[in-house]
């Protein structure tokens, strides 16, 4: 196929998996990320690969020119520990979306995808661990996660207005806690599934019987496996729908329940040291998939347990590789 797709944030977790899928579907891709190549989670020689800071306008114009469609996965993000302590850095990601949209208008790009987040939802609705799923309309009245969530909500609005004012075919997805192999599992930016898998594996290796848990473990979330995320993303991207739309799972669990699943995979039970002073985020969050079910006829294929098995095994193999170096 002659179509060329730009993927920003291609060295990241979702961006790497998306690059692989598009190459397998015989698309031409241009990949860009701010990280050096040796820090990309997945890098493919079949694509055009660049290391550039996409907050800079000139880099956005350079990357967009010559492409037909753009998928914007680039932003400063991580798990709750990162976004609660780096609000200004997260807000600066608005420059990536702003400059990329401007470049898309300049070069008459056919389609533009923006990766938003469930952090855009009103936090006042997320104070109860037994929360029902968040519908797309629940983002307003606006009170998103401070920093990261505000950037996502603002950028969603900018996408909407580029569609309304300039006719750019935008697609906006709100991701709910995507996880899986080939992503961050240590260093401070990892999310709960990867962090807990790493803690269990490390403590087994160290013969420790206690793991640290942020908060009281009763906070709830839903988590979507990466393969399901890529399926839904491309389904939205190739549809006539604009969004915003939830891409997530409705399988809500507490952090304690997720630890139970990881312990079952590992074959070992642990005592839990609850660190109540650590960042915890909202008390409860879950996805309502009514819109994506009705609009795109999409449902996740992987259960949380299946996704955790794949993730645990991958992190375990990565830790073994490091120990053997």
Structure tokens at 52: 């550039």
CB-based burial, 220-238: b 16+ in 10 Å, e otherwise: bbbbbbbbbbbbbbbbbbe
Q: H helices of the chain, where?
A: 13-24, 57-64, 80-85, 87-91, 94-106, 148-166, 192-205, 226-237, 255-266, 290-296, 304-324
Res. 78 pLDDT band, cuts 50 70 90: low
Domain boundaries, given as residue ranges, for the chain: 4-179+224-247, 192-221+252-285+304-324
pLDDT (0 to 100) of residue 90: 87
Q: Which CATH class is domain 4-179+224-247?
A: alpha beta
Indicate the range of 28-37, 49-58, 115-124, 179-188 predicted with least confidence.
Answer: 179-188
Sign of CA dihedral 167, 229, 27, 36: positive
Structure tokens at 222: 């839903």
Is the peptide bond between 244 and the residue preceding it cis, with omega within 30 degrees of 0? yes
Q: What is the tens place of the pLDDT at every residue in 213-263? A: 999 999 999 999 999 999 999 999 999 999 999 999 999 999 999 999 999
pLDDT over 90 percentage in the chain: 87
| pLDDT > 80? residue 280 | no
Q: Is 192-221+252-285+304-324 assigned to CATH 2.60.120.560? A: no
Work out the number of other CB atoms within 10 angstroms of the CB of residue 277: 7
| pLDDT > 90? residue 84 | no
Report, as residue numbers or ranges, the catalytic residues.
148
Tell me the C-alpha distance between 231 and 118, whole Å: 18
| pLDDT > 80? residue 188 | no
């Amino acid at each position: 196929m002659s179509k060329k797709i730009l993927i920003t944030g291609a060295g990241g977790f979702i961006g790497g998996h998306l690059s692989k899928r598009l190459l397998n579907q015989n698309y031409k891709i241009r990949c860009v990320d701010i990280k050096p190549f040796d820090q990309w989670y997945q890098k493919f020689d079949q694509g055009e690969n660049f290391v550039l800071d996409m907050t800079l306008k000139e880099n956005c114009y350079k990357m967009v020119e010559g492409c037909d469609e753009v998928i914007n996965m680039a932003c400063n993000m991580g798990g709750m520990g990162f976004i609660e302590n780096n609000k200004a850095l997260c807000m600066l990601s608005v420059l990536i979306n702003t400059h990329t949209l401007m470049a898309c208008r300049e070069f008459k790009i056919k389609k533009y995808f923006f990766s938003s987040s469930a952090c855009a939802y009103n936090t006042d609705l997320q104070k109860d661990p037994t929360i029902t799923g968040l519908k797309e309309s629940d983002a307003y009245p606006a009170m998103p996660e401070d920093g990261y969530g505000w950037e996502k909500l603002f950028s969603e609005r900018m996408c909407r207005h580029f569609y309304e004012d300039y006719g750019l075919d935008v697609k906006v997805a709100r991701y709910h806690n995507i996880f899986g192999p080939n992503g961050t599992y240590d260093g401070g930016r990892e999310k709960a599934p990867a962090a807990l898998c790493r803690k269990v594996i490390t403590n087994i290796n160290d013969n420790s019987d206690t793991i640290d848990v942020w908060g009281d473990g009763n906070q709830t979330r839903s988590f979507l496996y990466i393969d399901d995320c890529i399926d839904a993303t491309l389904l939205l991207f190739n549809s006539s729908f604009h969004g915003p739309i939830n891409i997530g799972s409705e399988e809500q669990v507490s952090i304690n329940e997720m630890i139970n699943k990881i312990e079952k995979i590992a074959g070992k039970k642990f005592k839990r040291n609850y660190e109540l002073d650590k960042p915890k985020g909202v008390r409860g969050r879950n996805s309502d998939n009514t819109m994506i079910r009705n609009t795109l006829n999409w449902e996740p294929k992987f259960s949380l347990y299946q996704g955790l098995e794949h993730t645990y095994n991958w992190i375990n193999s990565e830790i073994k590789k490091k120990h053997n170096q």
